[in-house]
Amino acid sequence: MGRKNKLRKFSEMLSFDNVVQNFDYLKPMLVRGANEEVDFKGNWSRDFFGNDHGLILELACGRGEYTLALAAHDPGNNYLGVDVKGARIWKGAKKALDAGLVNAGFLRTRIEQLELFFAPAEVDAIWITFPDPFLLKERNRLTHHRFLNKYTEFLKPGGHIHLKTDDEVLYEFSLESFNSWNRGKIEYHHQDIYAGPLENEVLNFKTYYENKHLEEGRKIKYIRYKFDF
- Active-site residues, by number, are 132
Q: Can you tell me whether residue 165 is helix, strand or coil?
A: strand
* DSSP-H helix ranges across 58-85: 65-73
Q: At 18, which amino acid appears?
A: N
> DSSP letter at 219?
P
| Residues 152, 227 contacting (CB under 8 angstroms) | yes
> DSSP letter at 195?
G
Q: Is 108 left (phi over 0), alpha (psi -120 to 50) or beta?
A: beta
What are the backbone angles phi and psi of residue 199, rounded to the nearest 5°? -70, -30
Residue 180 burial class via C-beta count within 10 angstroms: exposed 0-12, middle 13-18, buried 19 and up: exposed
DSSP symbols for 81-132: EEES-HHHHHHHHHHHHHHT-TTEEEEES-GGGGGGTS-TT-EEEEEEES--
Q: Can you tell me whether residue 157 is helix, strand or coil?
A: strand
Q: At 59, which amino acid appears?
A: L
| Residues 105, 81 contacting (CB under 8 angstroms) | yes
